[in-house]
Structure 1
Amino acid sequence: NEAWGTAFWGQRYRGLDEIDPPRATPTVANPAQRLDYARFADATMRENFCSERDILHRLAPGIPVTTNFMTALSQCDSVDYWAWGRETDLVTNDHYLITDGRRTHVNLAMAADLTRSVAGGAPWLLLEHSTSGVNWQPRNPAKRPGEMARNSLAHVARGSDGAMFFQWRQSRSGAEKFHSAMVPHAGTDSRVWREVSGLGADLGLLSGIRGTRTVADAAMLWDWQSWWAQKLEWRPSEDHDARERADAFYASMYDRHLTVDFAHPDADLSGYPLVVVPALYLATEGTGRNLRSYVENGGTLVVSYFSGIVDTQDAVHPGPYPGALRDVLGLTIEEFSPLGEGGTVRLITPGGAAEGPELTGDLWSDVVIPRGAETVWSYADGVPAGRPAVTRHRLGRGTAWYISTRLSGPHLDAVLDRACDDARIAPRTGLPHDVEVVRRTGDNGTYLFAINHTGDDAKVPLDGPGTELLTGEHTVGRLAVPAGAVRVVRLDG
């Protein structure tokens, strides 16, 4: 009763036998009960998996047991993958491109980084993806020539030790008969078959990479339970979407050519110069202490709006917002002021254009009261006009940034540029846009993957000489990456 706040609306229980799973109600159901039920449902599925895993361990000792995750697909958002990752012998993932106009290679990179992070940084396995089109979207285009190999090797670059497909032979009947396969309806005299065979040959040339680990430049905090809580009814704005914020922050970091680890809010963050928090509505006091320690010890933190608000039972932290994150951010929030549909706010710097560009936010604004933080951009209009919009708090040897409205594209980039300066992450201006550069390293050496998602040839600078494994060419200084191609260099030394 205390955890679920059942005194509100007279929901008090007198015994456990009165408690049912959440059901249809005349109005909004108890949010804390719904959150706990989501935890219960996830834990029950995981308990069943563990029972089956233990049977297989007994009957087939020494053989790893896993199950296929879907870290990037919204239909599997009821799973806490941090908890599941601890129970599998090998973390695996299914990934299918969402062809709705987004930059699909960015979503792919995000899914691969997230899967690697669930695996604790260890090598993982891409258990399913498609050779070409899928069959379950409103429109299912074929992959372009070379796209299948780019998709496969992008997962390998970000930690997978293989790239498997669904399915081997394309079905003649059933629900997935139009889902692509290694052997399509067209048979072996087809582009798909030839590209699959070519990829198999290339993987043989890359066998030395197996067991190495992907090197990350920064971290992003993500918590599935916080996501569950944010999606419940009657929040300040139904337009706010935690996953959208994660996508936006990730795309901005991707375009800076930063490889991202995802981290649980209570994880050790000391190895990262930059940590971003796109939407952490549910945050414990322990998380607040963890982030404060991270900043005090020299880290750079960037936090987006509607973070730190409630505890594990979806109860608002005592005192003003942002609850668990007040101290690290050096501010309080008097009230939220979400914007109407299509509404925007202008953000200006105290010194005008000489100090920074004018930014435009939408969807959300806060009435921010600085408690040690400095104002970097302020609101030029809206309810909080004249108040801080983007702040920077010097704390110990580090800094904590707060963004109190929704910024996207170049407007978000402008803030992250400043935060990267604080984190001493130099701009990687020598790398072309949409040419992905990722490193894997280990006892076998250091490998640089360069994946060109554009229609133009590109040049990628190298730290030193090496051997390009797919062509056998010796490389020095700069690596040529043809349009749509992948190159993998084993660096010398």
Structure 2
Amino acid sequence: NEAWGTAFWGQRYHGLDEIQPPRATPTVGNPAQRLDYARFADATMRENFTAERDILHRLAPGVPVTTNFMTALSQCESVDYWAWGREVDLVTNDHYLITDGRRTHVNLAMAADLTRSVAGGAPWLLLEHSAGGVNWQPRNPAKLPGEMARNSLAHVARGSEGAMFFQWRQSRRGAEKFHSAMVPQAGTDSRIWREVSALGADLGRLEGIRGTRTVADVAMLWDWQSWWAQRLEWRPSEDHDARERADTFYASLYDHHLTVDFAHPDADLSAYPLVVVPALYLATEETGRNLRRYVEGGGTLVVSYFSGIVDADDAVHPGPYPGALRDVLGLTVEEFSPLLDGGTVRLTTPEGAPEGPELTGDVWSDVVVPRGAETLWSYADGLPAGRPAITRNRLGEGTAWYVSTRLSGPDLDTVLGRALADAGVTPRTGLAHDVEVVRRAGETGTYLFAINHTDAAADVALDAPGTELLTGQGVVEKVTVPAGAVRVVRFDG
């Protein structure tokens, strides 16, 4: 009763036998009860998996047991993969492109980085993806020539030990008969079969990469339970979407040509010069202390709005917003001021602050009261006009930034660029947009994956000479990546 706040609306329980799963209610249900039910459902499914896993361990000792995750943030939203990652012998993932016209390769990179992070940075396995089109979207275009190999090797770059497919031979019957396969209805005299065969040969040339680990530049906090809580009804604005914030912040880091690790809010963050918190509505006091230790130790933290608001029971932290993050951010929020549909706010740099461009926010604004933090941008209009909009708090050896409105595109790039400079992180320059560069390193050496998602050849500068493994050619100062292709350089020495 205390945890769920059942005194409100007279919901008090007198015994466990009175408690039922959430069901239809005259108005909005109890949010804390619904959050605990989500935890219960996830834990019950995981309990079933571990029971089956233990049987298999007993009957087939030494054989790894796994199950197929779907870490892309649009899939299997009811699963806490941080908890599941501790129970499997090998973390695996299914990833199917959502071909809706957006930059699907960015979502692919994000899903691969998240899977690797669930694995604790260890190598993982792409258990399923498609050789061509799928069959369950409103429109299912075929993959373009070279796209299947590029997708596959992008997963390998970000930690996968291979590239497996659903399905081997295309079905003639059933619900998935129009889903692509390694052997399509056209048989082996087909583009898909030839591209699959070529991919197999390329993976063989990359055998030395096995066991190496992807090298990350920065980290992003993500917590499935906080996401569950944010998706419940009656929040200040239905336009605020935690997944959208994670996608947008990730895309900005991707466009800075940086590789991202994801981390649980209570994880040790000391290895990362920059940590981004795009949407952490639910944050415990321990999370607040963890982030404070990180900043005091020299880290740079960037926190987006509506973070740190409630505890594990979805109860608002005592005192002003943002609750668990007040101290590390050096501010309080007097009130939220979400914007109406289509509304925007202008942000300008105040007198005495480093000069910066005018920015535009939407969806959200806060009435911010600095408690030690300096103001970098102020609201030029709206309810909080003249108040801080983006702040920076110097704490110990590091800094904590707060972004109190929704920024996107070049505006978010500008703010993250300033924070990266604070952190001493120098993004790779001279790369074309949508050319990604990822490193893997280990006992067999250091490898650079250069993946070109554009329709023009691109040059990627190299720090040292090496050998391009897919062609066998030596490279010195740069490697040229043909349009839509991948090149993998093993550095000498």
| Alignment TM-score, normalising by the size of structure 2 | 0.99
| Within-5 A mapping of 1:152-301 | 152-301=152-301
In the alignment, the residues of structure 2 paired with residue 400 and residue 492 of structure 1 have an alpha-carbon distance, to the nearest angstrom, of: 39
In the alignment, the residues of structure 2 paired with residue 295 and residue 73 of structure 1 have an alpha-carbon distance, to the nearest angstrom, of: 28
For 2:254, what is the secondary structure of its paired residue?
Answer: helix
In the alignment, the residues of structure 2 paired with residue 198 and residue 410 of structure 1 have an alpha-carbon distance, to the nearest angstrom, of: 39
In the alignment, the residues of structure 1 paired with residue 490 and residue 414 of structure 2 have an alpha-carbon distance, to the nearest angstrom, of: 35
Shift of 1:432: 1.8
In the alignment, the residues of structure 1 paired with residue 196 and residue 152 of structure 2 have an alpha-carbon distance, to the nearest angstrom, of: 10
1:407-448 residue CA offsets vs partner (Å, 9 max, x unmatched): 000010110010000001113212221111000000011010
In the alignment, the residues of structure 1 paired with residue 404 and residue 466 of structure 2 have an alpha-carbon distance, to the nearest angstrom, of: 46
In the alignment, the residues of structure 2 paired with residue 38 and residue 184 of structure 1 have an alpha-carbon distance, to the nearest angstrom, of: 40
Find the counterpart in structure 2 of residue 70 from structure 1. Answer: 70
| Within-5 A mapping of 1:465-480 | 465-480=465-480
CA contact (8 A) 2:354 2:376 kept: no
> In the superposition, relative to structure 1, how do residues 105 and 352 fare at CA in structure 2: closer, same or farther (>3 Å)?
farther
Find the counterpart in structure 2 of residue 20 from structure 1. Answer: 20
Find the counterpart in structure 1 of residue 7 from structure 2. Answer: 7
For 1:294, what is the secondary structure of its paired residue?
Answer: helix
- Residue 413 of structure 2 is aligned to residue 413 of structure 1: yes
For 1:382, what is the secondary structure of its paired residue?
Answer: coil
Q: Which amino acid aligns with 1:418?
A: R
For 2:347, what is the secondary structure of its paired residue?
Answer: strand
CA contact (8 A) 2:330 2:393 kept: yes
Find the counterpart in structure 2 of residue 50 from structure 1. Answer: 50
1:226-285 residue CA offsets vs partner (Å, 9 max, x unmatched): 000000000000111100000000000000011000000000000000000000000000
Find the counterpart in structure 2 of residue 330 from structure 1. Answer: 330
Shift of 1:354: 7.5
For 2:58, what is the secondary structure of its paired residue?
Answer: helix
Find the counterpart in structure 2 of residue 38 from structure 1. Answer: 38
In the alignment, the residues of structure 1 paired with residue 174 and residue 165 of structure 2 have an alpha-carbon distance, to the nearest angstrom, of: 18
In the alignment, the residues of structure 2 paired with residue 491 and residue 435 of structure 1 have an alpha-carbon distance, to the nearest angstrom, of: 20
- Residue 141 of structure 2 is aligned to residue 138 of structure 1: no
Count of aligned positions: 493
In the alignment, the residues of structure 1 paired with residue 177 and residue 70 of structure 2 have an alpha-carbon distance, to the nearest angstrom, of: 21
Q: Percent identity?
A: 86
| Larger CA deviation: 172-181 vs 40-49 | 172-181
CA contact (8 A) 2:353 2:376 kept: no
In the alignment, the residues of structure 1 paired with residue 77 and residue 355 of structure 2 have an alpha-carbon distance, to the nearest angstrom, of: 41
In the alignment, the residues of structure 1 paired with residue 353 and residue 230 of structure 2 have an alpha-carbon distance, to the nearest angstrom, of: 36
CA contact (8 A) 2:258 2:427 kept: no
In the alignment, the residues of structure 2 paired with residue 451 and residue 354 of structure 1 have an alpha-carbon distance, to the nearest angstrom, of: 36
After superposing on structure 2, the runs of 4+ consecutive aligned residues of structure 1 that deviate more than 2 Å are 351-354
For 2:439, what is the secondary structure of its paired residue?
Answer: strand
Find the counterpart in structure 2 of residue 96 from structure 1. Answer: 96
In the alignment, the residues of structure 2 paired with residue 227 and residue 168 of structure 1 have an alpha-carbon distance, to the nearest angstrom, of: 35
Shift of 1:187: 1.0
In the alignment, the residues of structure 2 paired with residue 428 and residue 74 of structure 1 have an alpha-carbon distance, to the nearest angstrom, of: 29
Shift of 1:352: 9.3
Shift of 1:75: 3.6
In the alignment, the residues of structure 1 paired with residue 488 and residue 188 of structure 2 have an alpha-carbon distance, to the nearest angstrom, of: 28
1:357-403 residue CA offsets vs partner (Å, 9 max, x unmatched): 00000000000000000000000000100000000000111000000
For 1:74, what is the secondary structure of its paired residue?
Answer: coil
1:58-101 residue CA offsets vs partner (Å, 9 max, x unmatched): 00000000000000052400000000000000000000000112
CA contact (8 A) 2:330 2:370 kept: yes
In the alignment, the residues of structure 2 paired with residue 39 and residue 156 of structure 1 have an alpha-carbon distance, to the nearest angstrom, of: 32
Q: Which amino acid aligns with 1:441?
A: A
| Within-5 A mapping of 1:290-439 | 290-351=290-351, 355-439=355-439
In the alignment, the residues of structure 1 paired with residue 305 and residue 419 of structure 2 have an alpha-carbon distance, to the nearest angstrom, of: 16
- Residue 50 of structure 2 is aligned to residue 59 of structure 1: no
In the alignment, the residues of structure 1 paired with residue 74 and residue 376 of structure 2 have an alpha-carbon distance, to the nearest angstrom, of: 35
Q: Which ranges of structure 1 fall in alignment gaps of 5 or more residues?
A: none
CA contact (8 A) 2:337 2:367 kept: yes
In the alignment, the residues of structure 2 paired with residue 395 and residue 102 of structure 1 have an alpha-carbon distance, to the nearest angstrom, of: 39
In the alignment, the residues of structure 2 paired with residue 436 and residue 170 of structure 1 have an alpha-carbon distance, to the nearest angstrom, of: 32
Q: Which amino acid aligns with 1:412?
A: L
Shift of 1:351: 3.8
In the alignment, the residues of structure 1 paired with residue 142 and residue 300 of structure 2 have an alpha-carbon distance, to the nearest angstrom, of: 42
In the alignment, the residues of structure 2 paired with residue 80 and residue 327 of structure 1 have an alpha-carbon distance, to the nearest angstrom, of: 28
> In the superposition, relative to structure 1, how do residues 339 and 352 fare at CA in structure 2: closer, same or farther (>3 Å)?
farther
| Alignment TM-score, normalising by the size of structure 1 | 0.99
For 2:400, what is the secondary structure of its paired residue?
Answer: strand
Q: Which ranges of structure 2 fall in alignment gaps of 5 or more residues?
A: none
In the alignment, the residues of structure 2 paired with residue 360 and residue 436 of structure 1 have an alpha-carbon distance, to the nearest angstrom, of: 28
In the alignment, the residues of structure 1 paired with residue 341 and residue 185 of structure 2 have an alpha-carbon distance, to the nearest angstrom, of: 47
Find the counterpart in structure 2 of residue 125 from structure 1. Answer: 125
In the alignment, the residues of structure 2 paired with residue 102 and residue 425 of structure 1 have an alpha-carbon distance, to the nearest angstrom, of: 28
Find the counterpart in structure 2 of residue 441 from structure 1. Answer: 441
CA contact (8 A) 2:353 2:375 kept: no
